[in-house]
Amino acid sequence: MSSKTKTATIGSSSSKKFGMNSKMKSTLIGWSFVMIAVIMICTFYFYPMVQALILSFQSGTGTNLEFVGLDNYKRLLTDSTFLTAVKNTFIYLIVQVPVMIILALFLSVLLNDRTLKWKGLYRTAMFLPAVTSLVAYSVIFKYLFANDGLVNTMLLKFSLVPDAINWLADPFWAKVTIILAITWRWTGYNMIFYLSALQNVDQSIYEAAKMDGASAFQQFFKITIPMLKPIILFTSITSTIGTLQLFDEVMNITKGGPGNATTSISQYIYNLSFKYTPDFGYAATVSYFIVILIVIFSVIQFKVAGDRND
Amino acid sequence: MKKMMMLLMASVLFLAACSGSDSADGGGGSEQDSNKVTIWAWDPNFNIAALNMAKEMYEKENPDVEIEIVENAQADIVQKLNTGLSSGTSKGLPSIVLIEDYRAQSFLQAYPDAFHDMSDSFNVDDFAEYKIAPTSFDGKQYGLPFDSGVTGLYVRTDYLEEAGYTLEDLQGIDWNEYIEIGKKVKEATGKDMITLDPNDLGLIRLMIQTAGAWYMEEDGVTPALAGNEALKQAFEAYKGMMDADIVKPNSDWSQFVANFNSGDVASVPTGNWITPSVKAEASQSGKWAVAPIPKLSVEGAVNASNLGGSSWYVLNGDSSEAAADFLGKTFGSNADLYQQLVTEIGAIGTYKPASGGEAYEKADEFFGGQKIISDFAGWTEEIQGLNYGMHTYAIEDIMIVEMQNYLNGKSIDDVLNDAQAQAEAQLK
């Protein structure tokens, strides 16, 4: 009853003149609340997206752009630098994301142990990399992995390797360095998601499993993993998107080198727009390629992991 | 309903007010009245210091003009210029900007209406010829040439002596002789001859300019990689150094500088702008000298080259007249300023009338009493002029990859042909 009086007050007398029923009124009120957000999102998200799409059909230097139809997209397929960048990004994706997810899962289960002392300290230590600036940590990694850097010095002093590893100038080791860096930076971040999810898992499930004689491994695979499935899906999608957009680390640690052995797609977009004579049209085309990739991957991940859970 | 309409109207007004004040704020910096000149440049010890001297001189005679100098990293300037100019507005952009010669054509051609024609603001003939091609476009002079990127071979004379050489042995040599000397030096002292960053082919650019060759044809847009004799020899010399094991790798500027400041390398072939960094290690005073840069053994090659160097450009806008006047009266014609630049910051300009003064004849104790400024000025006159074209860095990225392939055993002809094919596909 009280709700009706409220609506009546808001609607006031004018509602009769326009002959509005209360349903329409509440719809309108609802819309007016979201209107600001909708206008903002349209102006600052969708409008630039559409503009970028239009831009991706143009080519030329700087402001001398002209429409070239699908030429940019054809050029993509034969552009060896671009293909190398895609290949590199996929290597990062295929190696780094699973390693990081498994590591984060493992760590979160360890840290969720109720008998563990100094839990807060360990959690903070693990999460701390995620709050450091991307550029700052990249620069530090660059120096750690320099030819006469700390990592090489340690490996040599402990006689683990016969010669110094050329971390940044060897195509293989440069990729390893980038993967190590991203893993260090993001594992703790993903671990926090798992930890919070684990704390919502009812302990009695584990107790019941123990009573039935389940080993620690069985508990992990039969209880923990299924319970965390939605979170694992979420983290793998965000990590995949993050890796596809990889830029700061590559830019600061190796500059894409040696050659273009570590160039990522995002870095290529940067080079096209700011390092070479700018071709914003083609750069927009490459950006749209990332969009398409992300959509495809997210759909795949939903299909693989999502449906049975809903 | 009325109230709701009011609410909507109010929110629209609010939004409009917000955006209105935003643009007013954003425009604050760009309200260029015609007597305020903003300048962007990089490197506080060199370009900014030079600007401050020029500003001081100019403001004495033109007190009504306000000059603001803003320091930005070069990469940031390039990025801001590109975003600003491509948005089609001069708001937020400076009136004067320093642009590296390798990039100049890219800006002049990509944003043809953005730059102020400087042809009438100074006498082009007063400047070193090799600076003119990169700074002009379509018959008009847009850039006012500034520092010289003239190169020299900085060498440790003490290491040379241990290997049985003197500075005399380095006069007029080619790169193959350089490698031979490098081997001897390494044998005698255990020190590498040179330090290189595999991601920076500055050495290749420097080598091919001794032969007057470039990545591009004369027109500045057609790649000239396949069958480029100078480039081929430069690649062979680069590989020769690697094979001779006389190279200490570095991966960025600070490691580069550290490698010669620590005494780990015996020579540094590079632009004269490295002088302050070499002298930064005062304990090595007297142990360095500067020899002419080695050349390629291509016909017509000279023992002089250029690496880097930049010029001043005026952007079209309310204050472009004042900006052109400032440049014209300082860097464009003031010989005293150039003398002062040499004595106080060691910056070698390309303004010919100023290159004979006493500041140029001063002996430098750090370099064992050598008159390095006068030597550099002499070499500047020999540099072969080139149109760098607009794609230097795009091609260089292709060359960096192909250089790796070449070092791993691919044949030189395949390397250059593949690079040519890639460049043609990329730069259409």
Tens digits of residue pLDDT in B41-92: 988 878 898 899 999 999 888 888 899 999 998 888 998 998 888 887 777 8
**CB < 8 Å to B398, chain A:** 81
Query: Which residues neighbour A309 within 8 Å (Cβ) at sequence distance 6 or greater?
Result: A229, A230, A233
pLDDT confidence tier of residue B14, bands split at 50, 70 and 90: low
Domain B35-149+307-354 shares a fold with domain B151-305+385-426: yes
Domain total in chain A: 1
Q: Does the beta carbon of A123 lie under 8 angstroms from any beta carbon of chain B?
A: no
Q: What's the CATH number where A160 sits?
A: 1.10.3720.10
User: Looking at CA atoms only, how far is residue A187 from chain B in angstroms?
Assistant: 27
Whether residue A56 is contained in a domain is answered as no
Q: What is the mean pLDDT of chain B?
A: 86
Quote the CA–CA distance of B78 and B214 in Å, as a whole number: 23
Whether residue A57 is contained in a domain is answered as no
How confident is the model at residue A19, as a pLDDT? 57
**CB < 8 Å to B391, chain A:** 276-277
pLDDT in tens, A295-305: 898 888 888 77
Distances (CA, A) of A171 to A95, B141, B351, B399: 16, 44, 45, 16
Indicate if the pLDDT at residue A132 is higher than 60. yes
Q: Does the beta carbon of B76 lie under 8 angstroms from any beta carbon of chain A?
A: no
Classify B295 as helix, strand or coil: strand
Q: How far from chain centre, in Å, is Cα A94? A: 14
B108 beta partners: none
Phi and psi at A254, nearest 5°, equal -120, -10
In A, minimum Cα distance to B8 occurs at A32
ipTM above 0.90, yes or no: no
Which of the given ranges, B201-210, B339-348, B371-380, has the highest pLDDT on average? Answer: B201-210
How confident is the model at residue B3, as a pLDDT? 61
For the residues B17-46, what does the mean pLDDT come to? Answer: 62
The enclosing H or E element of B99 equals strand B96-100
How confident is the model at residue A303, as a pLDDT? 83
Quote the CA–CA distance of A272 and A292 in Å, as a whole number: 19
Two structure tokens written together for B42: 């990089």
pLDDT confidence tier of residue B5, bands split at 50, 70 and 90: low
Q: For the purposes of burial, counting CB atoms within 10 Å of the CB of B201, is it exposed (0-12), middle (13-18) or buried (19 or more)?
A: buried
How confident is the model at residue A13, as a pLDDT? 47
For the residues B109-130, what does the mean pLDDT come to? Answer: 88
For the residues A70-97, what does the mean pLDDT come to? Answer: 90
Phi and psi at B96, nearest 5°, equal -125, 140
**CB < 8 Å to B422, chain A:** 80-81
Between strands A66-67 and A58-59, the pairing is antiparallel
User: Looking at CA atoms only, how far is residue A185 from chain B in angstroms?
Assistant: 22
Query: Are the Cβ atoms of B255 and A11 closer than 8 angstroms?
Result: no
Whether residue A117 is contained in a domain is answered as yes
> What is the topology classification, in CATH, of domain B35-149+307-354?
D-Maltodextrin-Binding Protein; domain 2 (3.40.190)
**CB < 8 Å to B397, chain A:** 81, 260, 271, 275-276
How confident is the model at residue B25, as a pLDDT? 37
B110: nearest CB among A28, A258, A278: A278
Dump the DSSP string for chain A.
Answer: -HHHHHHHHHHTTHHHHHT--HHHHHHHHHHHHHHHHHHHHIIIIIHHHHHHHHHTTEE-STT--EE-TTHHHHHHHH-HHHHHHHHHHHHHHHHHHHHHHHHHHHHHHHHT-TT-SSHHHHHHHHHGGGGS-HHHHHHHHHHHTSTTSHHHHHHHHTTSSSS---TTTSHHHHHHHHHHHHHHHHHHHHHHHHHHHHHTS-HHHHHHHHHTT--HHHHIIIIIHHHHHHHHHHHHHHHHHHHHT--HHHHHHTTT-STTSS--HHHHHHIIIIISS--HHHHHHHHHHHHHHHHHHHHHHIIIIIGGG-
How confident is the model at residue A191, as a pLDDT? 92
How confident is the model at residue B28, as a pLDDT? 37
User: Looking at CA atoms only, how far is residue B198 from chain A in angstroms?
Assistant: 7
Neighbours of A131 (CB within 10 A): 9
pLDDT confidence tier of residue B231, bands split at 50, 70 and 90: very high
Listed by start position, the domains of chain B span 35-149+307-354, 151-305+385-426
How confident is the model at residue B4, as a pLDDT? 59
How confident is the model at residue B359, as a pLDDT? 79
Whether residue A44 is contained in a domain is answered as no
Q: Does the beta carbon of A53 lie under 8 angstroms from any beta carbon of chain B?
A: no
B198: nearest CB among A15, A257, A276: A257
pLDDT confidence tier of residue B35, bands split at 50, 70 and 90: confident
Residue B235 near residue B201 (C-beta atoms within 8 A): no
Classify B85 as helix, strand or coil: helix
Report the percentage of chain B scoring pLDDT > 90.
44
For the residues B163-173, what does the mean pLDDT come to? Answer: 91
A259: nearest CB among B7, B11, B401: B401
For the residues A146-157, what does the mean pLDDT come to? Answer: 88
Query: Are the Cβ atoms of A28 and B4 closer than 8 angstroms?
Result: yes
pTM for the complete prediction?
0.77
Range of the domain at A200: 79-309
Whether residue A43 is contained in a domain is answered as no
For the residues B199-203, what does the mean pLDDT come to? Answer: 89
Scanning B255-284 for CB atoms below 8 A from A yields 255
Whether residue A15 is contained in a domain is answered as no
Query: Are the Cβ atoms of A11 and B1 closer than 8 angstroms?
Result: yes
pLDDT in tens, A234-271: 898 889 889 988 999 999 998 887 878 899 999 999 98
Question: Which of A276, A280, A286 is the best substitution to test chain B (most B C-beta atoms within 10 A)?
Answer: A276
How confident is the model at residue B12, as a pLDDT? 53
Phi and psi at B366, nearest 5°, equal -60, -35
Q: What is the mean pLDDT of chain A?
A: 86
Q: Does the beta carbon of B173 lie under 8 angstroms from any beta carbon of chain A?
A: no
**CB < 8 Å to A280, chain B:** 86
How confident is the model at residue A185, as a pLDDT? 93
Q: Count of A–B CB contacts within 8 Å? A: 111
How confident is the model at residue A258, as a pLDDT? 80
Q: Does the beta carbon of B10 lie under 8 angstroms from any beta carbon of chain A?
A: no
How confident is the model at residue B22, as a pLDDT? 40
State the architecture of B151-305+385-426 in CATH terms: 3-Layer(aba) Sandwich (3.40)
Two structure tokens written together for B288: 């360095």
Quote the CA–CA distance of A215 and A171 in Å, as a whole number: 43
Q: For the purposes of burial, counting CB atoms within 10 Å of the CB of B426, is it exposed (0-12), middle (13-18) or buried (19 or more)?
A: buried
